[in-house]
Amino acid sequence: MLIIAASAANRKHRPMRMGGGSSLFLESAVLVVLLGCCILPPSARAAVHYYDFVLKETNFTRLCSSKSMLTVNDSLPGPVIRVHKGDTVYVNVYNHGSYGVTIHWHGVKQPRNPWSDGPEYVTQCPIEPGSNFTYEVIFSKEEGTLWWHAHSDWTRAGVNGAIVVYPKEGTTYPFEEPDGEEVVVLGSWYKGDVNEEVEEDLESGSDTPRSDAYIINGQPGDFCECSKDFTHRWSVDYGKKYIIRLVSAVMNAEMFFAIGGHNFTVVGMDGAYIKPLVTSFVMIAPGQTMDILVTANQSLGQYYMATRQYDSVKPDVTDYDKVNATAILQYTGNYTDTSAPLFPDTLPIYYDYKSAINFMSHIRSLANEEYPVDVPRNITTFMYITASMGEVEFVKNSTTKTGLASSLNNVSWVNPSTDVLMAYYRNLSGYFTTDFPDWPGKFFNFTADDVSDDYELAVQGTRVKMLNYNEEVEIVFQGTNVMDASEDHPMHLHGYAFYVVGAGYGNFDNETDPKSYNLVDPPEVNTVSLPKKGWVAIRFRASNPGVWLWHCHLDRHYSWGMTTVFIVKNGGTPETSIKEPPPYMPPCKDSSLQLRKSDAASSVEWNKGDV
Ligand SMILES: [Cu+2]
């Protein structure tokens, strides 16, 4: 193999101006040219890139209050990773912080390579302070926008950034090439030390903190105290077309997003293109990403890009974060405009359920010759999984207590002390069990207004679901109103993208509802919003062997156990089997932040119990 340094080759699509702090990271890129490249088509080339991520505490002042927080390379959001479809990236993570961290490459399928997927105690143990770990991030079919974030406790509030996947060299977009690009990362800001607060809340079984503001590219914007001078600004030239790479790194809420005076066209979601959708706003869940085309065709001036929470919990719940975070889109040129930036009057209000559902229901795959769909039609594994709030019992200081929890099929996930992947790969027993149920233990009217208290108690366990290689899987997620706590759950699967073939209100009906499935052009995503008091049906082919996490991407639900793991077995050949582990994986020590570890219980005892 011949390796020729060609860092300039990757900069072809570099934007004229970028959002997000991307100037502080170290990047080098080499183009790997296979021997005999000159006779191969351009699509046969793939580049290898190297990034250094230095995790360290950085000082921030937001909302008139200062704190230090772990970041990557001192920037919030962190560095943007830019690749072409099919490239590979090695990210060397140095932990100069004071606690262990892992990083997940959200939406990157990582074929056969769960070793670099990142979720703590699922595919690896934390990278401890003073040590480093190199992730091998393997891109395959993804194209568009993805992102990366910490996947240990709530550190991802400060450790996140965008990934932009350009078309393969020599190919182009399924739309007119934009003149420029803007990365927009939505996030959550907490004035305090969020990990410390969450740890206390999990220990005591109480509710977790609300954010103090939402942020756009690290800033809350003009409507927040002590913030106006630092609002993120994006300059555009009149007449040009731009692509916005929108990422929701928000911790615990779905968000509406709109731009004053400008409609736009959504052309991609979760690293796959969709049928162009012209809209005046989007609803984006934590974990989701979108590619949005916008033309600078309005009067020269300033326009707010604004985001606010879509609160699916209840219209009468008052303690959510009501901040309207803003950035400013400003036209270049010589003009005098002293008026305030235009706020988008199309931004839906907090509890606008109809607008949220309406937007989601219009997403369709491109589904053409160049971008075909491959929806499984011979389902060999069917699962019906309830997603619930509830409680668990735990023993603390020899006293049995109950605390808030969430669950899938009434099982509330507990992290093992050695990661599931290593335990599976090395055939170690006692760390997990393979009895995650295909059905809820009890059937009742899941979406009733007054669900009985009898259904509140979940069991804790480290229960995984085993899948044979290439199995065709359908899962219907069912929202419940247990504890009168129904809300949207952005369900995220690692290692895969899946097709969203159906969704609806109320309880899923396995006779009538499948008749309305879209098997022609369903969206292919890695995160789907399970609607409040409703259901969503997804399909995928289990063609990526490994250990893959499924979880709600609201961090409080993840911490409370709305999580399970799929282990996809090897397919019998080297090409269908998990890769060899890298020469070094971070060693496992006991985590300090685990969900209510009963002081008397061993990890083996947790794994028992009835559903
Ligand atoms: Cu959830």
Radius of gyration over every alpha carbon of the chain, rounded to an integer in angstroms: 23
Question: Ligand 1 mean position to 349 CA, how many Å?
Answer: 21
Q: How far is the CA of 346 from the centre of ligand 1 (A)?
A: 27
Q: Which residues pair with 183 in a beta bridge?
A: 245
Interval between CA 529 and ligand 1 midpoint (Å): 9
Quote the ligand 1 centre to 215 CA distance (angstroms): 21
Predicted local confidence at residue 146, as pLDDT:
98
Q: Give the Å distance between the CA of 582 and the centre of ligand 1.
A: 33
CA 58–ligand 1 middle distance (angstroms): 30
Tokens of 219: 């800033």
* pTM of the model as a whole: 0.90
Give the 3-state secondary structure of residue 433: strand
Cβ 300 vs Cβ 337: under 8 Å? yes
Question: How far is ligand 1, taken at its centre, from the CA of residue 228, in Å?
Answer: 33
Distance 554 CA to ligand 1 centre (A): 5
Q: Calculate how far, in angstroms, residue 325's C-alpha sits from the geometric centre of ligand 1.
A: 23
Distance 45 CA to ligand 1 centre (A): 40
What are the residue ranges in the chain where pLDDT is below 50? 1-42, 591-611
Kindly give the distance from the C-alpha atom of residue 156 to the centroid of ligand 1, in angstroms, as a whole number. 17
Q: Cα–Cα distance between 407 and 372 in angstroms, integer?
A: 35
Specify the amino acid at residue 147.
W
CA of 311 to the centre of ligand 1 (A): 12
DSSP string, 5-50: E-GGGGGTT--SS--S--SSSEEEEEEEE-TTGGGS-GGG-EEEEE
592 vs 116: CA distance, rounded Å:
23
Q: How far does the centroid of ligand 1 lie from the alpha carbon of residue 488, in Å?
A: 6
353 alpha carbon – ligand 1 mean position (Å): 16
Distance 165 CA to ligand 1 centre (A): 28
Q: Determine the Cα–Cα distance for residues 160 and 153; give it in Å rounded to an integer.
A: 13
Give the Å distance between the CA of 485 and the centre of ligand 1: 10
Cα 597 to ligand 1 centroid, rounded to whole Å: 21
* C-alpha of residue 383 to centroid of ligand 1, in Å: 18
Q: What is the reported pLDDT for 317? A: 65
What single letter denotes the amino acid at residue 90? Y
Q: Which pair of tokens denotes residue 515?
A: 């008749």
Tell me the CA–centroid distance for residue 487 and ligand 1, in Å. 7
What is the enclosing helix (H) or strand (E) of 606? helix 603-606
In the three-class reduction of DSSP (H, G, I as helix; E, B as strand; rest coil), residue 264 is classed as strand
Q: 23 CB contacts (<8 Å, ≥6 apart)?
A: 75
Nearest of 51, 47, 7 to residue 25 by alpha carbon: 51
Residue 489 CA, ligand 1 centroid: distance in Å: 4
- Measured in angstroms, how far is the CA atom of residue 46 from the centroid of ligand 1? 37
- Distance (angstroms) between ligand 1 centre and the Cα of 495 equals 20
Residue 490, exposed/middle/buried by CB under 10 A (0-12, 13-18, 19+)? Answer: buried
Whole-number Å distance between alpha carbons of 346 and 358: 14
Cα-to-centroid distance, 560 and ligand 1 (Å): 9
Check residue 205 and give its pLDDT.
86
Q: What is the rounded distance in angstroms from the CA atom of residue 561 to the CA atom of residue 559?
A: 5
C-alpha of residue 611 to centroid of ligand 1, in Å: 20
Cα gap 104→116, rounded to integer Å:
8
Q: How far is the CA of 479 from the centre of ligand 1 (A)?
A: 9
Nearest to 304 by CA among 349, 259, 246: 259
DSSP string, 276-312: EEEES-EEE-TT-EEEEEEE--S-SSEEEEEEEEE--
Phi first, then psi, for residue 433 (nearest 5°) are -125, 160
Dihedral over Cα of 508, 388, 550, 208: its sign = positive
Return the ∠ at Cα 48 (arms to 45 and 49), rounded to 5°.
140
**549 CA to middle of ligand 1, Å?**
14
Question: How close is the Cα of 181 to the center of ligand 1, in Å?
Answer: 32
Q: Is 13 left (phi over 0), alpha (psi -120 to 50) or beta?
A: alpha
Residues 6 or more apart in contact with residue 537 via CB below 8 angstroms? 474, 475, 476, 477, 500, 501, 502, 503, 508, 513, 514, 517
∠ at Cα 449 (444, 455), nearest 5°?
A: 40
pLDDT of residue 36: 32
Residues having C-beta closer than 5 Å to ion ligand 1: 489, 552, 554, 557
Distance from Cα 406 to the centre of ligand 1, integer Å: 8
Q: In what order do the strands lie in the sheet with 272-279?
A: 213-216, 180-189, 241-248, 289-295, 264-269, 272-279
Which pLDDT score, from 0 to 100, does residue 32 have? 35
Helix count and strand count (H, E) for the chain? 5, 34
Going from the Cα of 557 to the center of ligand 1, the distance in angstroms, rounded, reads 5
Residue 74 Cα, ligand 1 centroid: separation in angstroms?
Answer: 30
- CA end-to-end span of the chain, whole Å? 54
Distance (Å) from CA 563 to ligand 1 centroid: 9
Given a contact cutoff of 8 angstroms between Cβ atoms, the answer to whether 536 and 502 are in contact is: yes
